[in-house]
Homo-oligomer: A and B are copies of this chain.
Amino acid sequence: MYNRNFMRIAINLAKKNIGNTGINPSVACLIEKDNQIIGIGLTGESGRPHAEYNAMSKCKDQIKGSTVYVTMEPCSHEGATPSCARILAEAGVAKVVSPIMDPNPVVNGKGFEILKNSGVEVFIDKEHNEKAKRIIEGFSKKILTGKPFVTLKLASSLDGKIALNSGKSKWISGIESRRKTQLLRYRNDAIMVGSKTFIEDNPELSIRENFGRNNQPIRVLLSSDCKILPKGKIFDTLKSQKTIIFTGYKGKKNWSDWEKAGANLIQVKSTKNSLDLHAVLYQLGSMGISNLLVEGGANLSASLLNENLLDRIIIFYSGRIFGSSGISGISKLKGEKVFIEDYPHFFIEETRKYGNDLMVSWIKKSDNLESG
């Protein structure tokens, strides 16, 4: 018997914990026996212990004959501790229900194999496949491509402008949208902005709302030259929130001030005015960043689009109208293509009202995120 409500609970728990599980994906595990939940576990804050281990620790005596609902395939790698698949099998669980395989090539089905070979029934819950995939999208992207899953967030007028001609952008969106932005920050491992946004907006890029998270997302600044002076909110909070600056050339004066104050300065390939964004993303991936939120500005957004590096665009459309003198949310794209079909194309993933703003999540259709 398969009770979809248990998987629904597990999915919701895993979703809520996104951004809080270090380099590992957010997984939830729920153990059921005689229609009673006897154990619930989530991936630990650093990515360890795994959700299955945490769930089992609460019901060791009762686990024999139980059904385990887990939002991703149990792991198969043996190390200092045995794999989750083996632990579950040896504990005598009767059945494991899971919507997706672990996309990690070293697992990718082997966890299910271990279970089956030990006589445990494995049920692939296709109903929750899409939701489960979305929860681990960052992990999947990173493990398969080396780069994080990149979400661009914009707040724009209904006619697509992110600021007045004067540069003023506070506040295009309402308080409900801004609170949702805090939640987006929570769910991402790092937040990235270009130097123009750093200079013009003096952002702090921290989580101010308390969603139960202790650590702050890593801040990532891009500056091909050295125009970002060692001052501002980010500079003042380098001690309390990790900050990485990518630059084309380290040997400039201000950088030493940034480094002394605690910033992590990384040099990557660059052309005259822009950094090699592939190099930046690979670097972030190698540092364990699975989910990256980009919060501006228009030039960085266009550069990411030009390099086909955006996975999702979340726009909060407000009811304001700025007209053509406002600043466009995305700068000029490279090349002058003749056909509309040649321009970047995203698809509606989700829409939701936040106060009087409309949030639209546009997603790139991609086949490089296969799992399960």
On A, residues with C-beta under 8 Å from B are 156-161, 164-166, 168-172, 298, 302, 305, 313, 315, 317, 319-325, 328-333, 336-340, 343-348, 351, 353, 356, 358, 360, 362
A76 to chain B, nearest CB (A): 38
Contact across chains for A160 and B156 when beta carbons are under 8 A apart: yes
Which has the most chain B C-beta neighbours within 10 Å: A325, A348, A362? A348
* Given A160-B329, A360-B358: A345 in contact with B322 (beta carbons within 8 A): no
Name the B residues within 8 Å of A362 (CB-CB): 158, 319
Closest residue of chain B to A356 (Cβ to Cβ) is B347
A345 to B344, CA, bound (A): 29
Contact across chains for B358 and A158 when beta carbons are under 8 A apart: no
A116 to B339, CA, bound (A): 64
Contact across chains for B348 and A322 when beta carbons are under 8 A apart: no
Give the dominant DSSP class at A's interface: loop
Name the B residues within 8 Å of A356 (CB-CB): 347-348
Contact across chains for A340 and B158 when beta carbons are under 8 A apart: no
A351 to B353, CA, bound (A): 10
* Given A156-B160, A160-B161: A345 in contact with B360 (beta carbons within 8 A): no
Specify which of B169, B170, B328, B351 is in contact with A351 (CB 8 Å cutoff).
B351
Given contacts A172-B340, A348-B353, list 20 more A-B pairs with CB under 8 A: A158-B362, A160-B161, A168-B338, A169-B340, A171-B340, A302-B323, A317-B317, A317-B360, A319-B346, A320-B340, A320-B345, A321-B344, A321-B346, A324-B331, A325-B332, A325-B336, A328-B328, A347-B356, A351-B353, A351-B358
A368 to chain B, nearest CB (A): 19
Closest residue of chain B to A343 (Cβ to Cβ) is B320
Contact across chains for A319 and B333 when beta carbons are under 8 A apart: no
Contact across chains for B313 and A158 when beta carbons are under 8 A apart: yes
Contact across chains for B305 and A166 when beta carbons are under 8 A apart: no
Contact across chains for B324 and A298 when beta carbons are under 8 A apart: yes
A343 to B346, CA, bound (A): 29
Closest residue of chain B to A166 (Cβ to Cβ) is B338
A14 to chain B, nearest CB (A): 27
Which has the most chain B C-beta neighbours within 10 Å: A158, A168, A322? A158
Contact across chains for B323 and A331 when beta carbons are under 8 A apart: yes
A171 to B332, CA, bound (A): 20
A231 to B346, CA, bound (A): 38
Name the B residues within 8 Å of A344 (CB-CB): 320-321
A26 to B158, CA, bound (A): 31
A59 to B172, CA, bound (A): 57
Specify which of B298, B321, B339 is in contact with A343 (CB 8 Å cutoff).
B321
A364 to chain B, nearest CB (A): 9
Contact across chains for A330 and B323 when beta carbons are under 8 A apart: yes
Q: List 9 A-B contacts (CB under 8 A).
A: A159-B329, A166-B336, A170-B340, A302-B324, A317-B360, A319-B347, A324-B330, A348-B358, A351-B351
Name the B residues within 8 Å of A333 (CB-CB): 321-323, 325
